[in-house]
Amino acid sequence: MKEESVDFLVIGSGVAGLRAAIELAHHGTVLIATKDVPTESSTEYAQGGIAVAMSDEDEVGIHLEDTLRAGDGLCRESAVKVLVEEGPWRISELISWGAEFDREGTKLAFTREAAHSKNRILHAHGDSTGKELERVLIAKVRTYQSVKKYPFAFTVDLMVNEGECFGASMVKDGEVIHLSAKATILATGGAGQIYERTTNPAVATGDGMAIAFRAGAVLEDMEFVQFHPTSLYMPGAPHFLLSEAMRGEGALLKNIHGEPFMKNYHPSAELAPRDVVSRAIISEMVRTKSAHVYLDLTHLDKEFVKRRFPRINLTCRMYNIDITENLIPVSPAAHYIMGGIRTDLNGATNIKGLYAAGEVACTGVHGANRLASNSLLEGLVFGARAGIAASQHGSEGRMHGTPKAQGLHHAPSTLSRFSSSYLDGMRTSLRRLMWERVGIIRCAESLSIAEDSLSQWEPEVNEISVTREEQELRNMLMVSRLITEAALERKGSVGAHFRSDFPLRGDDGNRHILWEKGRMLKE
């Protein structure tokens, strides 16, 4: 085992982690640890864009209202205010660092997505907005000699002693490293991989949420999972995202008989909130006994479609779909977890020295349902805030403590106790269970079945080992349990959480469900 020390540890290299590291770079040595290559994050794959009230017709107050409405009464208004007010400033800063957003003439081009009352979505290279953010932030990080990257370093647990975090234990190149830091920022992203169908990359296994929970962090709003209505449905193909911006530009949803149906479900039709569209698609699939519906862009100008969605066009072509000529088979997929590690407006958690930003965190910005394209903005705004707060925490004169690693008190082994095929089988069963029982439409019966299976599986992999496969599965099981139990507890339908046995909001609709010291609480 190796001991290393750094001033600030950032775990995760998406928009939130990189933006935090840029702030920290002025205050000491920074290590960005990632379990894969640094560009492998949800940010890299984000298509549609980044919502910001910067167009001539928009106002931050309207962005605030739209976000609160989407969050269905459970947003923390102070956090939303920070998001919409600081957003334009952070975008201007990003442009000054070289970000190239698409323009109409010299003016920034803004598009519309569901539940936005104005055109406010910036995009880059058509549908590669996240990639552009990642490019600019990585280039900026490279200008600081104080920042080092640690690729392929899997964080196993946080090192916490008496409610204070002193870094993390990780495995890199088969070696266990105790990495001590004055302050640690978790920016590990989401957990879409717990679902059989997800738009998320393979790295999104809920690691940050699980390790924070094991260390005693408070988690909140875990039952709120957003399902994106349109992912590619092709047997054998990944559930590739077909950006909401396509519907924003006029694409229609049609059932397998070629009939548009969204007007039958919501006055905003294709631009209704995501949970409404996802449930409408499921209803149409059931009604027409089909495994998918279609997204239709064939009535739009072909050159415009190719120019506006080059990445989607290229990907669909790999599956012999010409998006200007053919209907695209689509169905919903898990996309974003609104809940996560509870933080204040500066990313601070209940554990001293531990901060969280981005999808892993629950700042309260999204409430029960995230407004489309608010997440990249959240990563920028709250990543920067977490970086600033962590740098100040580091300068309070805290000593690098004698850390105690949670869960690594034994002689660690980097050999798996289980065969790869066993772990693969378990992962597949878990993902199917979550999709079928804890998916878009839930009820007490389905959730109880999931709860029973999860409680049988968990002890099997909770034994300590430090291979990435086992640790990911351990984390996925833990996050699945937190989501399932919170979903069982919320006996009402709010935002993205829909219970067929409790279709109304219910008396507890305005309360949050929290996980604290391993126990569930309501607030």
Which residues are part of the catalytic machinery?
274
290: which 2 tokens? Answer: 């089909």
Q: How far is the CB of 203 from ligand SIN (least distance, A)?
A: 17
Please provide the DSSP assignment of 188-205 as one string.
----GGGSSSBSS-TT-S
Q: Hey, is 119 helix, strand or coil? A: coil
481: which 2 tokens? Answer: 């349990």
Q: How far is the CB of 121 from ligand SIN (least distance, A)?
A: 8
The H or E element spanning position 371 is none
Q: How far is the CB of 376 from ligand SIN (least distance, A)?
A: 7
Q: Which stretch binds ligand SIN (CB under 6 A): 27-35, 93-101, 209-217, 372-380?
A: 372-380
Q: What is the dihedral of CA 56, 57, 61, 63, to 10 degrees?
A: -100
Q: How far is the CB of 385 from ligand SIN (least distance, A)?
A: 20
Q: Which stretch binds ligand SIN (CB under 6 A): 326-334, 358-366, 369-377, 403-411?
A: 369-377
Q: Which stretch binds ligand SIN (CB under 6 A): 200-208, 237-245, 382-390, 491-499?
A: 237-245
Spatial separation of the C-alpha atoms in residues 369 and 71, rounded to whole Å? 5
The terminus-to-terminus CA distance of the chain in angstroms comes to 42
Amino acid (one-letter) located at 64:
L
Half-sphere exposure of 169 (CA within 13 A, CB side): 25
Q: Hey, is 37 helix, strand or coil? A: coil
Q: How far is the CB of 233 from ligand SIN (least distance, A)?
A: 16
- Those residues with Cβ within 8 angstroms of residue 200's Cβ, 6 or more apart along the chain or in another chain: 42, 45, 189, 190, 191, 192, 193, 334, 335
Q: What is the dihedral of CA 99, 100, 104, 109, to 10 degrees?
A: -50
- Those residues with Cβ within 8 angstroms of residue 297's Cβ, 6 or more apart along the chain or in another chain: 246, 249, 250, 251, 305, 323, 324, 328
Regarding 245 and contact with ligand SIN (CB under 6 A), the answer is yes
Nearest to ligand SIN of 155, 373 (CB atom): 373
User: With helix as H, strand as E and coil as C, how does 402-428 read?
Assistant: CCCECCCCCCCCCCCCCCHHHHHHHHH
Nearest to ligand SIN of 13, 375 (CB atom): 375
305: which 2 tokens? Answer: 């479609």
Regarding 243 and contact with ligand SIN (CB under 6 A), the answer is yes
With beta carbons less than 8 A apart as the criterion, state whether 213 and 16 touch.
no
Spatial separation of the C-alpha atoms in residues 98 and 100, rounded to whole Å? 6
Regarding 493 and contact with ligand SIN (CB under 6 A), the answer is no
State which of residues 375, 465, 471, 475 lies at the interface with ligand SIN (CB under 6 A).
Answer: 375
Q: How far is the CB of 452 from ligand SIN (least distance, A)?
A: 32
State which of residues 157, 196, 244, 469 lies at the interface with ligand SIN (CB under 6 A).
Answer: 244
Cross-strand partners of 8: 30, 183
Nearest to ligand SIN of 242, 348 (CB atom): 242
Q: Which stretch binds ligand SIN (CB under 6 A): 101-109, 239-247, 307-315, 484-492?
A: 239-247
Per-residue x/- track, 409-448, ligand SIN (CB under 6 A): ----------------------------------------
Cross-strand partners of 9: 31, 184
Spatial separation of the C-alpha atoms in residues 522 and 36, rounded to whole Å? 36
Q: Which residue is nearest to ligand SIN (CB)?
A: 48
Q: Which stretch binds ligand SIN (CB under 6 A): 70-78, 82-90, 243-251, 487-495?
A: 243-251
Cross-strand partners of 161: 164
Q: How far is the CB of 256 from ligand SIN (least distance, A)?
A: 22
429: which 2 tokens? Answer: 């069963």
Please provide the DSSP assignment of 373-401 as one string.
THHHHHHHHHHHHHHHHHHHHHTT-----
Q: How far is the CB of 78 from ligand SIN (least distance, A)?
A: 22
Nearest to ligand SIN of 198, 375 (CB atom): 375
Q: How far is the CB of 96 from ligand SIN (least distance, A)?
A: 24
Nearest to ligand SIN of 206, 412 (CB atom): 206
Amino acid (one-letter) located at 151:
P
The count of chain residues that interact with ligand SIN, using the rule CB under 6 A, is: 9
Regarding 369 and contact with ligand SIN (CB under 6 A), the answer is no
State which of residues 67, 231, 255, 373 lies at the interface with ligand SIN (CB under 6 A).
Answer: 373
Regarding 47 and contact with ligand SIN (CB under 6 A), the answer is yes
Spatial separation of the C-alpha atoms in residues 172 and 154, rounded to whole Å? 6
Q: Which stretch binds ligand SIN (CB under 6 A): 86-94, 238-246, 252-260, 486-494?
A: 238-246
State which of residues 372, 464, 473, 513 lies at the interface with ligand SIN (CB under 6 A).
Answer: 372
Per-residue x/- track, 328-357, ligand SIN (CB under 6 A): -------x----------------------
State which of residues 14, 17, 38, 48 lies at the interface with ligand SIN (CB under 6 A).
Answer: 48
Torsion sign, CA atoms 40, 225, 209, 22: positive
Nearest to ligand SIN of 154, 227 (CB atom): 227
Nearest to ligand SIN of 190, 364 (CB atom): 190
Q: How far is the CB of 48 from ligand SIN (least distance, A)?
A: 2
Which residues contact ligand SIN (rule: CB under 6 A)? 47-48, 243-245, 335, 372-373, 375
